[in-house]
Structure 1
Amino acid sequence: MATGVWNENNRPTIPGFYNRFKAVAEKRIGTGIHGILAMPVKANWGPIEKVISIKNEKDLINKFGKENTAYRLGRLALLGRPKELLLYRLTDGAEKVANLILKDTEDTDVLKLQTIYPTTRDFNVTVRINIVDSEKKDLILYEGAKQLYVFSGLGETIEEIVKNINENIENMWIKATKLDEGNGKLKNIVNEALTDGNDGNKSISNEQYLKAMNVLEGYKADGFCLDGVTDEALQNTVKAWVKRNKTKGNNIIAFLGCKDTDTIQQANTKSKGFNFEGIVNVGTKGIYEGDKYTPAETACYIGALAIGQNLKESICNEVAIFEDVEPRLSKEEIEASLEAGTLILTKEDDEVIIVDDVNTFKKYTEEKDEIWGYIRAIKFINTVDSDTALKRKEFSGKCPNNATGQLALICALKQYFEVLEKEDVIEDFTVEIDKELQAKAKNDEFFWKWDAKYVNVMKRIYGTGYIR
């Protein structure tokens, strides 16, 4: 069933549920989401070109290891507490699994070990006689000098050894293939390396990122970030991708950042160039546990934090995990950054805070006023869009398009907005038939509209003191 946006001159023809949003003077609308952040990453372990859900840091290490942007920025994103983190491992086409041929005691090649995923990890193997049963062997897997696992008491035939390795539910690293039965007895070896692996990270291009973005479209992510990449062409492609997805009913906010060497003025220029509510541009670096994260890397944390919050929350003045920030901006630079739509961090009273939840949309229009320039508001709009579109399952193609059916749909939609009102997200709302457009509608079309006063959070608080 289709969803998406519409306008008077381009009404979609596929049956479904379509929304559009207009800001009206003093009746401003805002936004929210469901907490899913997606990111393409580079890794030295893990499934390639697949979308993998990550629950916590241990899960991240098990699935992608502790190298490259998968760990560095996946861990940073998890610290922002998204409700779900989706990672997609990029490769350049040269990726290869590592392997090792094991011989029997007569030097016949009998068994091939291969890593489960393409990698250059320093895996090595020792084969020795089992201390309990001298007719059996132990195969010990190491990474460097660290012992990972002991496949103990392996069978008396190569067939049995292969089966024991491959069917071991605790085995997350290697798979075995029988080459020959030989004499059935593995030759002892000490720390023989699995070689010829390639992680596929050397020549990753924008094309691989575009492929990842196309795959991620099917997973309904609310937020998206690049793994620290600042390539201008790629970032502009992300903007176009977010816009295109919006027309299809996939509401995504992309969190990007400027180059490590950019000045705050250059970051502001980039934000002005974006000028889009679906793009957040981070202009400062965060320092965490002594490690400096570029603005584009810091954006991964900001994205996770913003996406993970509920509709009533805002990252404005939110205390971040970082212990310091670079550069330290002056008051005038902070004001200029916010005006340009650059999200920045600053340090106050030994805490690093996010100054305001701005996105890059700052050239306001009649249909999009200043409320569209903030992440919290866009989250709310995206939430209403997706939540009301779920009603398509109840009504599109199942409900008569007469007064009774139209009333049933309006009542269902009102119940949704009543929940938002009770939660102090909106107030003074109306949901009704759009009589002007319905008067010109075809017999299978129904037009409705809603209007609500958006309840913002307090950001600027002004006090007056009188001394007597």
Structure 2
Amino acid sequence: MAGTFVIGEEKVRPGAYFNISRNDSNTSADIVNGVTAVVFKADFGPLLDVRKLNADTDYGSIYGTGLTTDAIKEAVAGGAKEIIACRVGHGGTNASIDLNDKDGEAAVKISAMYPGDKKFAVTIREKITDSLAKECIIYTGTKEFVKFAFPAGEGEAAAVAEGLAKSESFAVSLVSGKEKAELANISQETFTKGENPEVTTEDYSDAFAAIEPYVFNTICVDTEDTVIHLLLAAFLNRIFEAGSLAQGVVAEKYTVDLDKRIEHALGFNDEKMHYVLNARVNEEGKEIDGYQTAARIAGMIGACASNSSLTHTVINGFTDILERLTNTQIVDAEKKGCLVLSVSSKNQVWIDNAINTLTVFTEDKDEGWRKIRRVKTRFELIRRVNDITDDLVGKVDNDSNGRKTIVSQIQGVGKSMVEEGKLVSCTVTESTVYTADGDSAWFNIDVIDKDSAEHLYMMFRFQFSTNE
């Protein structure tokens, strides 16, 4: 395991721990990238049961496409390669239906596996291409959700029960005594609709707890509720202390006063939190705002390589900003930790300045911590060093040779990141202030991380004379 430590502190649990401080000398592990956690509401799907989805996974087949599931779509559109998905809520009821036999008596009872008001309908019919077979088709809207064939005639009820038992979306039971029953044909018979779960602040806390064991770069929520935003910030700070290096992205809708939104962003003052100020945009003819835009930016931050910057990165699919800000407003907002969308000279929507909400710098945090690129770089270095040193815990002696092995392994990570264009330099030494003793050892990792050229000053010089 990895976690933070305070200088001079000795831990109880074996492991590799990290400490972050400021270096003012000048005022090969796996890389986790493209992983975004999304907490959302849906009208179907597992509740508080985290699922890992690839970017090309059809999330609609698991959760449907209702309510706020579009947060998943936006995160993927932003570049997320993997989604840590968690449906939020509690309670609710499940949709259900009884399939009758030819005598009009219930033979098979079907219920949706998960609560929600997603609409389902079922068809039992003869198979067009095979007179000796029938089909069971469950629809959601006009889309076939489940479809399978079964032998026609005696035992149809048992065959349907057996076929649906293989589905991850429905629970089925065969009515006693109906094992040999033949089913009545029906067409688009609707289920008794279920009810969506309730969603409270506590449910978001439960969702965060469910996500906590997973490794991810960024996280977004499906709400503009500032109480949930503060809860997210507290969650990220708590898991950071346990060694989880993740960043959150939130936004509010344009209906909230602009100054109030800026005030909310300023209140975070946290390198792990990003606040999208003017989130109301046109996305290929459709207006989106708030959590949807935050999810897009979360996907972008999570996927961005740490040797590149999102400043002036065009956002694909965003065709217009529906709340354009003046230069004065942008400057004021960015000073207060807002991530602002603006328009390029080519009239493309882009991120004006890739920053987080950190505005107050301390003894341990320089101004680099407010920049997305540099936080990504620093978090990546910490992750990679933690991974490689955690494998050495208990495997080398705490003597000169053992500590040299540790230094060389960490130095190897630094060297790789220099070669990858992420660091200028990385120097690893054994601490001379804290002497290794017993099972504890301390190491200094002095890092200069790279930045992008983002403020370019052109000094033109003209003269009245026309002579060279």
Aligned counterpart, 1:68: 67
Following superposition, the deviation at residue 193 of structure 1 comes to 1.1
**Is 1:450 the equivalent of 2:445?**
yes
Residues 80 and 304 of structure 1 are in contact (CA less than 8 Å); yes or no, is this contact kept in structure 2?
A: yes
**Is 1:233 the equivalent of 2:231?**
no
Following superposition, the deviation at residue 150 of structure 1 comes to 4.8
Following superposition, the deviation at residue 11 of structure 1 comes to 3.2
Q: Which of 99, 103, 114 in structure 2 is aligned with 1:102?
A: 99
Moved more, 207-216 or 230-239: 230-239
Aligned counterpart, 2:252: 258
Distance 1:148 1:414, change over 3 A: closer
Aligned counterpart, 1:334: 330
**Secondary structure of residue in 2 paired with 1:384:** helix
Following superposition, the deviation at residue 122 of structure 1 comes to 2.3
1: CA distance, partners of 2:379 / 2:130: 64
Distance 1:58 1:406, change over 3 A: closer
Aligned counterpart, 1:247: 241
Aligned counterpart, 2:389: 392
Residues 33 and 311 of structure 1 are in contact (CA less than 8 Å); yes or no, is this contact kept in structure 2?
A: no
Aligned counterpart, 2:41: 42
Deviations 1:174-199 (A, max 9, x none): 44321134351112333321114223
**Secondary structure of residue in 2 paired with 1:436:** coil
Q: Which amino acid aligns with 1:36?
A: V
Aligned counterpart, 1:140: 137
Following superposition, the deviation at residue 360 of structure 1 comes to 0.7
TM-score by length of 1: 0.91
**Is 1:119 the equivalent of 2:116?**
yes
Aligned counterpart, 1:83: 81
Following superposition, the deviation at residue 106 of structure 1 comes to 2.0
2: CA distance, partners of 1:218 / 1:126: 41
2: CA distance, partners of 1:199 / 1:421: 51
2: CA distance, partners of 1:213 / 1:57: 24
Aligned counterpart, 2:276: 282
TM-score by length of 2: 0.91
Distance 1:402 1:146, change over 3 A: closer
Distance 1:350 1:461, change over 3 A: same
Aligned counterpart, 1:176: 172
Deviations 1:94-124 (A, max 9, x none): 2x22111112122222111222333322222
2: CA distance, partners of 1:150 / 1:245: 43
**Is 1:366 the equivalent of 2:356?**
no
2: CA distance, partners of 1:277 / 1:34: 18
CA RMSD of aligned residues (A): 2.2
In the comparison of the two structures, how many residue pairs are matched?
A: 454
**Secondary structure of residue in 2 paired with 1:411:** helix
Residues 91 and 115 of structure 2 are in contact (CA less than 8 Å); yes or no, is this contact kept in structure 1?
A: no
Aligned counterpart, 1:407: 404
Aligned counterpart, 2:461: 466
Residues 38 and 87 of structure 1 are in contact (CA less than 8 Å); yes or no, is this contact kept in structure 2?
A: yes
Residues 33 and 380 of structure 1 are in contact (CA less than 8 Å); yes or no, is this contact kept in structure 2?
A: no
2: CA distance, partners of 1:145 / 1:418: 56
2: CA distance, partners of 1:372 / 1:148: 47
Higher RCO (CA 8 Å, separation ≥ 6 residues):
1
Aligned counterpart, 2:14: 15
Following superposition, the deviation at residue 405 of structure 1 comes to 0.5
Deviations 1:59-99 (A, max 9, x none): 122222221111x21111111011311110112212x2211
Gaps of 5+ in 2: none
Distance 1:457 1:52, change over 3 A: same
2: CA distance, partners of 1:160 / 1:432: 69
1:295-310 → structure 2 map (5 Å cutoff): 295-310=290-305
Distance 1:368 1:134, change over 3 A: closer
Percent same amino acid among aligned pairs? 23
Aligned counterpart, 1:272: 266
**Secondary structure of residue in 1 paired with 2:237:** helix
Distance 1:19 1:196, change over 3 A: same
2: CA distance, partners of 1:252 / 1:117: 30
Distance 1:295 1:135, change over 3 A: closer
**Is 1:381 the equivalent of 2:388?**
no
1: CA distance, partners of 2:129 / 2:405: 74
Moved more, 145-154 or 42-51: 145-154
Residues 33 and 379 of structure 1 are in contact (CA less than 8 Å); yes or no, is this contact kept in structure 2?
A: no
Residues 26 and 453 of structure 1 are in contact (CA less than 8 Å); yes or no, is this contact kept in structure 2?
A: no
Residues 333 and 340 of structure 2 are in contact (CA less than 8 Å); yes or no, is this contact kept in structure 1?
A: yes
Q: Which amino acid aligns with 2:88?
A: L
Moved more, 333-342 or 233-242: 233-242
**Secondary structure of residue in 1 paired with 2:68:** helix
